Homo-oligomer: A and B are copies of this chain.
Amino acid sequence: MISFASDYTEGAHPLILKAFVDTNYEQTPGYGSDRFCDSAKEKIKKVIGKPDAQVFFLVGGTQTNSTVIATMLSDFEGVVSAETGHINAHEAGAVEYTGHKVMSIPHHLGKIDPDELEQKLAIWTGDDSYDHMVHPGMVYISHPTEYGTLYTLDELTRISDVCKKYEIPLFLDGARLGYGLMSLSTDVTIQDIANLVDVFYIGGTKVGALCGEAVVFPKGRAPKHFFTMIKQHGALVAKGRLLGIQFDTLFTDDLYFKISRHAIDMAEKLKAVFIEKGIPFFIDSPTNQQFFIMEDAVLDKIKDKVTYSWWEKYDETHTVVRFATSWATTEENIEMLRQIL
């Protein structure tokens, strides 16, 4: 049985495990004040080109989204998201649990359109009853999106401009950021992101770490007492080294980028297999998540040999499924998949 169900089916990159072993008996202070966290933060600030950035390490994506959003919004504000945004659809209402509305707008293969965003903001803020309504207080985008798609630099710039015009911060969910940055068809760099957004995070869980997301405020404008609120949200890890060591390793010798590129290379090979087999794309994604329309009869035949993610029903006899590659995907497994198919 091989699995392409997700990019979190294996443990951690071996260099991370090695670092755990090598530093295990070093005594460090808790809650992120250890030297590994310090080092990781410096490396991240350097790679994004923002010496005054603030970096915090949290454990997982949903936690990071709800903590960042709740602490940056005022009580009367909500967060604007694509209908398909992870916070709107697949986080069990974690944002609403903190008291804030997710204000959804239409998506285009997971992306929001800058013009539609501007129109919607104009309608909301121009309403006669605006004082009786939730105020848009942040724009949330994911990059790559939940559909594996990517914003272009132009799109990202225009969304950023709309946010500036309406004076609301832009938050980029980078749970799979590495796979977006290393896509063969992107023109967006991590420095671009640091320039264009107010806060973003660099996903670790899905890019080679056991867990961990690095929240970055590139302009140094983290909410006051953000540390205390991380604690309040249950997102503060006592052994901060768990996160520090992982991100320090990932940002040493470009490991984060190299393993992301490996996943992209594997995704290209995987796509080739499906093309060869004549299985149509549901979305032709430029990142590590690939969506196909498969016959239910075929899925039934392969079900004991390979796992994937169920996405949605396509029609009576077909289903949309997701195959994901990761830092850990091997050419052997791709080859096995070809033979299974």
Once the chains bind, are A11 and B30 in contact (CB under 8 Å)? no
Q: Does A61 contact B (CB under 8 A)?
A: yes
Evaluate contact between A8 and B25: CB separation under 8 angstroms: no
Stretch at the interface among A97-105, A156-164, A260-268, A277-285: A97-105
In the complex, how many residues of chain A place their beta carbon closer than 8 angstroms to a beta carbon of chain B?
82
Distance of A101 Cα from B131 Cα, bound (Å): 20
Question: Which A residues from 1 to 17 make CB contacts under 8 A with B?
Answer: 1-3, 5-6, 8-12, 14, 17
Chain A 4-44, CB-CB to B under 8 Å as 1, else 0, gives 01101111101001001101111111110000000000000
Neighbouring B residues of A104 by C-beta, 8 Å? 104
Cβ-defined contact, B233 with A97, below 8 A: yes
What B residues does A211 contact at CB under 8 A?
59, 211, 237-239, 242
Q: Is the CB of B67 within 8 A of A75?
A: no
What's the number of copies of this chain in the assembled complex? 4
Per-residue interface assignment for chain A, residues 61 to 92, with 1 indicating a CB less than 8 Å from any chain B CB and 0 otherwise: 11110110011001110100000000001111
Across the interface, A135 reaches (CB within 8 A) one of B75, B94, B228, B234, namely B228
B132, A228: Cβ atoms closer than 8 Å: yes
Cross-chain contact B5 with A60 (CB below 8 angstroms): no
Q: A173-216: which have CB < 8 Å to B? A: 205-206, 210-211
Determine whether A275 belongs to the interface, using a CB cutoff of 8 Å to chain B: no
Within 8 Å CB of A90, what residues of B?
A: 129, 132-133
Contact of A24 with B29 at beta-carbon distance under 8 Å, contacts A76-B228, A239-B210 already known: no
CA distance A132 to B20 in the complex (A): 27
Within 8 A of B (CB), among A130-162: 131-135
State A8–B239 Cα separation when bound (angstroms): 6
Contact B62 A59 (CB under 8 A): no
The smallest beta-carbon distance between A67 and chain B, in angstroms, is 7
Bound: A24/B12 CA distance, A: 7
A interface residues with partner B (beta carbon < 8 Å)? 1-3, 5-6, 8-12, 14, 17, 20-21, 23-31, 59-64, 66-67, 70-71, 74-76, 78, 89-94, 96-102, 104, 128-129, 131-135, 205-206, 210-211, 224-225, 227-229, 231-239, 241-242, 307, 309-310, 328
